[in-house]
Amino acid sequence: MKKDTQLLHAGRHPKDNYGIVNPPVYHASTVTFPTVDALYQADKNPTEGIFYGRMGTPTSRAFEEAVATLEGGDKAIAVQSGLAGITGAMLAFVKGGDHILVADSVYFPTKKFCNEFLSNFGVEVTYYDPMIADGIKSLIKDNTRLIFTEAPGSLTFEVQDIPAIAKAAHERDVLVMIDNTWSAGYYFNAFEHGCDVSIQAATKYIGGHSDIMMGTITLREEHYKMVKTKLNVLGYCAGPDDCYLAQRGLRSLPARLARHEENGLKMAAWLKERPEVTKVLHPAFADCPGHDIWKRDFTGSSGLFSIVLDGKYSPKAVAAMLDGLELFPMGYSWGGYESLIVPFNPKGARNVTTWVEDGACLRIHAGQESIDDLLVDLNSGFERLNKP
């Protein structure tokens, strides 16, 4: 069956549940056992069975089954936030003395975790240019354990050549992880392109309504038990109501993404024609580094992209533009139904690449509003930019 059909059915078992369409929400810490023998039996296989709330409930397992279907992996693990997915996956695979390679354009808190935790635990971190492709070969050392990728990069949208990176990695027994949040696991099949672990902030498109915090780690069967066991030791888990909402979000993911994609493409095309805009960093547009790789490896685009304004505009003019927008409130996170905008400056967040643009950068999330209304609002923003 096609992915859209699978996504409507994955993780649901109405026959086991009075015919009710959606999985029930189990609120649970304690799971009781009638005999000593049953207790010991369950203790032998806690990563698969139902043993204790933190190890998973039928609610989290149902969601995880659906996410594995979405991402094309064997198993998924739900955790309490997207960042917990990143830190948990890395902590499960690395140990002191290992070396890891991390893209220079990753979500900034990923870097903070590497710099403020992993480095202190004796893990050596090297950042690499996201456009490196198979040039990554020269950075792989005998103790390199994993390469952490994110495509496209946070804020600046460089699309990495994941197949080339994965080929170089696998020749040296190095693991490839991806932060696959931008594609929602829907527009990019991480496993078919050589990734071993795919992480998402389900907070974003999977949840889709700006009302939950949730992360997912999707992986192959061979890694599942080890990672699940270690995450349990770390105390990572996801709450039942959030698992339920995230799974509900999955059912409408293809339909919502189609609308985000359409509005994102229309908005980016309109912005490209504006004289105030010098660059449109949207993977489907030629200005975006790695645009050709996006065309080759992705099946579509979500609603998140950035623009760079002409350097002649003062911070005051940019603030006048943004402060007066009605349909683009400023705020972090994205992937909900609504449009958002945030100013950012990549300069301080770079380790091995240099950000050369001098104009203000704006990240835009194209929501599901009518595109006509969104463009009217942006148009008034440009009027204020020019006459603050």
Catalytic residue list: 54, 107, 179, 204
Residue 107 binds to ligand PLP (criterion: CB under 6 A): yes
Give the integer Cα–Cα distance in Å for 344 and 82: 21
Quick check: 207 and 214 in contact, CB under 8 A? Answer: yes
By CB under 6 A, residue 179 contacts ligand PLP: yes
For residues 125 and 342, which CB has a smaller minimum distance to ligand PLP in the complex?
342
Q: Which C-beta is closer to ligand PLP: that of 51 or that of 113?
A: 113
Helical residues (DSSP H) of 154-196, grouped into ranges: 162-171
Judged by beta carbon, residue 304 or residue 325, the one nearer ligand PLP is: 304
Eight-state DSSP code of residue 115: I
Nearer to ligand PLP among residue 83 and residue 309 (C-beta): 83
- Of 87, 105, 156, 181, the residue at the interface with ligand PLP (CB under 6 A) is 181
333 near ligand PLP (CB under 6 A): yes
Element (H, E) at 77: strand 75-79
Cis peptide before 109 (omega within 30 of 0): no
Q: Does 82 bind ligand PLP (CB under 6 A)?
A: yes
Contact residue for ligand PLP among 57, 59, 69, 81 (CB under 6 A): 81
Asked whether position 156 contacts ligand PLP by CB under 6 A, the answer is no
Q: Which of 57, 60, 149, 154 binds ligand PLP (CB under 6 A)?
A: 154
In Å, the largest CA–CA distance within the chain is 77
Residue 41, token pair as written in the block: 């039996």
Residue written as token pair 């709450």: 239
Among positions 160, 203, 216, 218, the unique one binding ligand PLP when judged by CB under 6 A: 203
Q: Is 174 one of the binding residues for ligand PLP (CB under 6 A)?
A: no
User: Shortest Cβ distance from residue 217 to ligand PLP (Å)?
Assistant: 12
Closest residue to bound ligand PLP by CB? 82
Nearer residue to ligand PLP within complex by CB, 214 or 374: 214
Number of H helices, E strands in the chain: 12, 11
Looking at the DSSP assignment, which residues form a beta bridge with residue 95? none
The region of 14-22, 71-79, 94-102, 200-208 touching ligand PLP under the rule CB under 6 A is: 200-208
Distances, alpha carbon 273 to alpha carbons 25, 28, 56, 267, 353, in Å: 49, 54, 50, 10, 28
Contact region with ligand PLP (CB under 6 A), list: 141-149, 201-209, 240-248, 253-261: 201-209
Residue type at 91 in one-letter notation: L
Cα separation of 208 and 291, whole Å? 26
- Min separation Cβ 192 and ligand PLP, Å: 20
Distances (CA, A) of 89 to 28, 230, 245: 24, 9, 23
Closest to ligand PLP by CB, 57 or 183: 183
Provide, rounded to whole angstroms, the least separation between the CB of residue 387 and ligand PLP.
34
User: Coil, strand, or helix at residue 279?
Assistant: strand
Distances (CA, A) of 154 to 62, 238, 244: 30, 24, 27
In the bound state with ligand PLP, the residue whose beta carbon lies nearer, of 161 and 179, is 179
CB of 153 to ligand PLP, least distance (A): 9
d(CA 148, CA 135): 15
The least distance separating ligand PLP from the CB of residue 335, rounded to whole angstroms, comes to 8
Distance CA 143, CA 274 (A): 49
| Nearest partner of 284 among 297, 299, 295, judged by Cα | 295
Instruction: Write down the least CB distance from residue 113 to ligand PLP, Å.
Output: 11
**Which stretches of the chain bind ligand PLP, using CB under 6 A?**
81-83, 107, 154, 179, 181, 201, 203-204, 213, 215, 333
